[in-house]
Chain A
Amino acid sequence: MMEALGYFFMSWVDVQMLLLTAMGTFAGIYIGAIPGLSVTMAVSILISFTFKWDVNHALALISGIYLGGVYGGSRSAILLNIPGAPSAIATGMDGYPLAKRGEAGQAIGLTTVVSVYGGFIGILALAVAAPLVSDLALMFGPRDYMLLAVWGLLLVGSLSGESLSKGVFSGALGALIACVGLDPMTGENRLTFGSMQLSAGIAYVAAMIGFFGVSEVIAQIHELKLTAIKQNVSKIIPSWGLLKKYLPLATRTSTIGVVVGALPGAGGDIAALMAYDHAKRTVKNPSRPFGEGAYEGLVAPESANNAAVGGAYVPMLTLGIPGDAVTAVIIGALYIHGLKPGPMLMIETPHLFWFIVGSLVLANLFLLVFGLTGIKIFAKIVETPKPVLLPLILVLSAVGAYAINNNPVDVYWMLGFGVLGYFLKMYGFQVGPVILGMILGPIMDRSYRQAMASSGEDVGVFVTEFFTTPLSAILLACVVLTVVSQADWWKKLRGRK
C-alpha cells in the first residue's frame, strides 16, 4: 500500500515530471481548443517524439495532454461556437448562447469546475475498477479477447459514423493494414508483395499522423473563412451556490461518462452527447430552456467527457483494448516503450498503474488552475488564422513521421494515408475506426488463431464454445445486440411501437 502511494506521488515530487504534467495539461487545453487540432492528432505526433524518453516522462506528458485536450474543446465551443474537439460538440449548444448573453466568463468557470469534478470521478473509477477488472481479465480466454475486439470495432463504427457498413469497412481496413509485414506467429510474409520495406510492416505512427493530422489539415481548407467573434470574458470563478446546485447532475453524468468511456471503442465525444441527452430528459426546470443557454447543458457534457478519460483507461490498462481513439494511440505509445497493456501489466508493473493514476490526478489539478486563468490571452491564440496554422501542423506532422525511424518512406506513407483519409472523410467514412482497427486487428488475429487451434481446428467445437462459456456468451450477446440495434428492420420495428 505504501509502495503504491509512493508511485502515486512520483510525478508530484519529481520536478521534471511535475513540469511535464503541467506543460502537457496547458498545451492540451490549447490543442483541444484550437479548431483543427485534436488531442488524437497531438498525441500521435508526440509519440513519435517521446519514444526515446523514459516511459514515465512520456506518460506524464500524455496524461496532461489528454485531460487538458478533452476539456479545451469546450472553450472554443463557448467562445466561438466551434467545438475545438469532438467531445465538445454538445457543449456549444448551450455554451455559445450563454456567451452571446455576455456570460462567457461564467460559462467557462463552471465548465472548468465540473470538468475537473468529472475528471476526478473518472480517475476514482479507474483506481477502484482497474484492479478488479484486471483480476477478472485473467479469466478471459483468447475467444473472449476476440469478441471484445470485435465489439469495440463495431461500437466505434456504429456510434461515430453515419452508417455501420462504412464504420465496419474502416475498421477492417485498419486491421488489414496492421496485417502487412511478417506474421508474428509464423514469421511468414503477409501482403508484402515481395518488398523488403513492407516486410517491416507499415509504421503505425505514420498511419496515425496521416489519418488524423494530414487528412484533417486538408479537410480544414473547406473551412478557411470562419472567423471568431470577440467575447467579453469576466467573472470566471463560479459561486459555491451555483456549484452546489449542479453537483448532483454532474455526478450522474460523470457516471455515464465513466461507463461510456470504459466501453471499448466509445469515448468522450459519445459520452458527452449521451450525457447531454440524459440532462435534457431528466432535468425538469433548467436554468433556461436547453439550447438557449442552460447551465445544465454545459454541466452534463463537460463532466461526462472528462469522466470518460478515466473510464477509457480501464480497458486500455487491464485488457489492452483501447476505450477510444486517443487510448488507441496511447496503447501504441506503450508498445513502443516495450510495455504490453493487458492483465499482466497490472500484475507485473503495478507501479506503472499507480503512477498513471497519480499523474492523472495531478493533471486534473493543473486543469483547475489553468482552466480558471489566462482566458484573455487564450482568446487571442484560438483566433490564430488557419492559413498560418494549417501549414505549421503539416510541418509538425512531417517531423513526427520522419522521427519514428528517420526514414523518409514513413513520411510518404503518412502522406498517402492523409490523402486517403481525406477522401474517406469526405465520402462519409470515419477515420477513428481505422486506427482502432490497427490496434485491435493484431489482437483479433492472434486470439482467433489461438482459439481455433485450441479447439483443434474443429469448427463445430469452436462455435459451441461461444455458447458454453458464460463470459463468451455474454460478450457474444453484446456483439449481436450492437449489430441488431443498427439494422434498419430493427429501427423500423422500434419506430412502430
Chain B
Amino acid sequence: MHTSHPRLPGELTFMALIVLFSAFMLWASYNISRFDSLSSPGFFPMLCAATMLVTGLMSLVKTARSKLALAPGQTVFQQFVQKLAPLTLVLFAALIVAYMLLLEVLGFLVASYLFLLLSMQVLGSKRIGLNLVVSAVVLAAIYIVFQTAFSVVLPAGSLVGPYLPEFLK
C-alpha cells in the first residue's frame, strides 16, 4: 500500500475529476452501440472506460485515505500554489497558451520570437541581450531547417503575414 506518503494538494479533486470523466466516457461509449453484440463498435471503448472507472476509483480511495501534510497555518490552496503551481509555472503556462492562440494571427516568426523572449525572462534568464541573440539565432535555424529540409509550412500569420517580405513567407 502506498498510503504512507502524504496526499498532495489538489490530488483528491484530480482523482474525483478523472473518476467523473471516466463515468462520463463510459456513458458516451455505451451510447455508441449499447449492448447490441459482444463485438460491436462500442464494446471496446466501454471496456476502456470501465477500466478507467475502476482503477480511477481505486486511486481515489487510496488518495482519500492518505493525509495532507500541511505546514501550520498553511491552507490547501497555498500548498497547491507552492507545490504544483508556483507563480513562474503559471506565468509560463499562460505564455504557452497565449503563444498557441496567437500563432495563427501573428505568424510563426513573430509569435515565437515574442514567446521565447518573454518566457526566458519569466524563467529567470535575465541577460536580455543574450536572450535577444539566442532567440533570433535559434529561430532562424529552426525556420531555415524546417522550411527547407522538412518542407514544413509554418503559419505566416493573418495579421502580420501580408506585410512580411516574400522570403519569410
Contact = CB atoms under 8 A, between A and B. Distances in A.
Interface stretch (A258-266, A348-356, A441-449): A441-449
Contacts of B48: 172-173, 175-176, 179, 441
Contacts of B52: 169, 172-173, 176
A388 B56 contact: no
Contacts of B11: 427
Nearest to B118: A391
A448 B45 CA distance: 12
Interface string A168-210: 1100110110010001011011110100000000000000000
Interface residues of A, number: 63
Nearest to B88: A221
A13 interface: no
A186 B59 contact: no
A176 B103 contact: no
Q: Counting chain B CB atoms within 10 Å of each CB, which of A224, A399, A426 scores highest?
A: A399
Interface stretch (B31-39, B70-78, B159-167): B31-39
Interface residues of B, number: 62
A55 interface: no
Secondary structure call for the B interface: helix
Interface in B20-65: 25, 28-29, 32-33, 37-39, 41-45, 48-49, 51-52, 55-56, 58-59, 62
B93 interface: yes
Given A176-B25, A191-B29, A387 B125 contact: yes
B6 interface: no
Interface stretch (A131-139, A365-373, A451-459): A451-459
B120 A190 contact: no
Interface stretch (A36-44, A67-75, A402-410): A402-410
B131 interface: yes
Interface stretch (A159-167, A231-239, A338-346, A474-482): A159-167
A488 interface: yes
A50 B152 CA distance: 9
A221 B89 contact: yes
A419 interface: yes
A168 B45 contact: no
A128 interface: no
Given A169-B59, A191-B29, A391-B119, A398 B103 contact: yes
